[in-house]
């Protein structure tokens, strides 16, 4: 068996190599155990992560609006506003230099903004989704438009962040020139294993939020390995086989650092989202409400790029493929890739294809609608 570094692995490995691997593997585990559960800005910098130059343009509570430098000649496309999920942190989109969706967009001449939801505290427990969408995100959009001379914005949402951006585009279509959905569920009727886990016969989200307030990150993180337990176990074996390959370990470390850097899920948002989307599928049925207003996906008229992964266990193909049927007034481009929920953005060579296809779509579909 040949490892990704070219070394011989498994039974063919020499005794000296196995000793070297074992020592390096133990050093890696010791480093992981010493780093703490949440990555600080200093730790991210030390690991070479989240390095695309940016500044904080606006702050609201725990949330920050980040404005990224344009690293190439500025193009005519509208500014991009990225929205990530509430579960993990945003820097999966800016993992490392050369491994960053944000960097790729910036080098192609796009102006990128991103909302960092921050680390929710007890004061966030009772805040509803309308606070995050109609106060934080909408104010961020207005600030972006002001900074960009009134130009419309292209929304870009990853995972649940894509669900949120679709809601934003439906509630205030006048602000948006385009919408990019990256492995984002809009229909939850058949959401794979998450449909089973959130089945209302067995699961009441309010029992968690009434006990804890916001959902502790440890509860969220401990559930992820059980979604694909075989893959979770084989990942460490593959790491051991490639532990002497510095570049492999660097990439593995950055993804592992991000995947374990969970944050609390705001309590009321969690219970409302699980009930309204996963249990009752109200967004797809046209009855989900934000701030007293019904979210009608049929109001989205900007062009939409729907990126999804064929091997996604979080947002199955059947869910992603239904998006175009729900966006009845939008011109939707479906773009499936042979990847998983995470590898679609971080694995070589898929990530470069996704970046290139997204950039080409943005330049072809959003510039005309920017003003």
Asked if residue 230 lies in contact with residue 24, where contact means CB atoms within 8 angstroms, the answer is no
How far lies 297's CA from each of 157, 189, 276, 314, 368, in Å? 15, 16, 15, 22, 22
* Nearest CA-CA partner of 236 in 83, 80, 91, 21: 21
Q: Which of 54, 110, 175, 341 is catalytic?
A: 341
Radius of gyration (C-alpha) of the chain in whole angstroms: 21
DSSP for residue 347: S
Indicate if 312 belongs to the active site.
Answer: yes
How long a stretch of residues is the chain?
371
Catalytic residue at 76? Answer: no
**Is 302 tagged catalytic?**
no
d(CA 346, CA 104): 12
The residue among 6, 265, 25, 289 whose CA lies nearest residue 159 is 265
Q: Dihedrals φ, ψ of 184, to 5°?
A: -115, 130
Nearest-10 crossing angle of helices 246-259, 15-34: 30
110 three-class SS: coil
- Which residue in 99, 130, 159, 302 is the catalytic one? 159
**Rounded to whole angstroms, what are the CA distances from 168 to 30, 189, 216, 299?**
43, 21, 26, 10
Distances (CA, A) of 314 to 182, 196, 220, 257: 12, 12, 14, 20
CA neighbor of 221 nearest in space, from 97, 99, 87: 87
Neighbours of 98 (CB within 10 A): 11
Q: Measure Cα distances from 246 to 2, 178, 192, 239, 348 in Å.
A: 16, 40, 36, 11, 16
- For the annotated catalytic residues, the residue numbers are 159, 312, 341
């Amino acid at each position: 068996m040949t490892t990704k570094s070219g070394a011989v692995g498994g039974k063919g490995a020499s005794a000296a190599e196995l000793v070297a691997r074992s020592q390096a593997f133990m050093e890696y585990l010791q480093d992981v155990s010493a780093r703490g559960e949440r990555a600080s800005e200093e730790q991210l910098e030390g690991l070479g992560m989240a390095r695309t130059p940016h500044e904080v343009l606006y702050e609201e509570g725990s949330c920050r609006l980040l404005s990224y430098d344009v690293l190439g000649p500025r193009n005519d496309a509208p500014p991009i506003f990225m929205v990530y999920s509430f579960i993990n942190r945003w820097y999966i989109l800016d993992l490392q230099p050369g491994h960053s969706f944000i960097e790729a967009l910036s080098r192609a001449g796009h102006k990128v903004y991103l909302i960092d939801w921050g680390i929710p505290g007890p004061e966030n427990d009772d805040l509803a989704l309308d606070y995050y969408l109609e106060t934080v995100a909408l104010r961020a959009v207005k600030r972006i438009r002001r900074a960009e001379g009134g130009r419309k914005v292209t929304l870009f949402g990853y995972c649940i962040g894509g669900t949120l951006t679709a809601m934003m585009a439906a509630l205030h279509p006048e602000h948006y020139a385009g919408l990019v959905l990256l492995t984002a569920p809009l229909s939850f009727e058949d959401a794979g294993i998450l449909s089973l886990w959130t089945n209302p016969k067995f699961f009441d989200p309010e029992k968690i939020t009434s006990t804890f307030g916001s959902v502790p990150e440890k509860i969220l993180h401990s559930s992820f390995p059980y979604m694909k337990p075989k893959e979770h176990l084989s990942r460490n074996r593959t790491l051991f086989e490639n532990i002497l390959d510095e570049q492999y370990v660097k990439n593995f470390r950055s993804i592992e650092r991000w995947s374990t850097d969970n944050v609390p899920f705001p309590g009321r948002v969690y219970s409302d989202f699980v009930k309204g989307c996963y249990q009752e599928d109200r967004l797809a049925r046209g009855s989900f409400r934000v701030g007293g207003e019904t979210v009608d996906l049929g109001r989205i008229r900007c062009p939409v790029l729907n990126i999804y992964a064929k091997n996604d266990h979080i947002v199955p193909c059947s869910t992603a493929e239904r998006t175009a049927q729900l966006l009845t007034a939008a011109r939707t481009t479906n773009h499936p890739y042979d990847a998983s929920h995470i590898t679609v953005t971080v694995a070589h060579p898929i990530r470069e294809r996704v970046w290139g296809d997204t950039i080409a779509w943005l330049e072809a579909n959003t510039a005309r609608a920017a003003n």
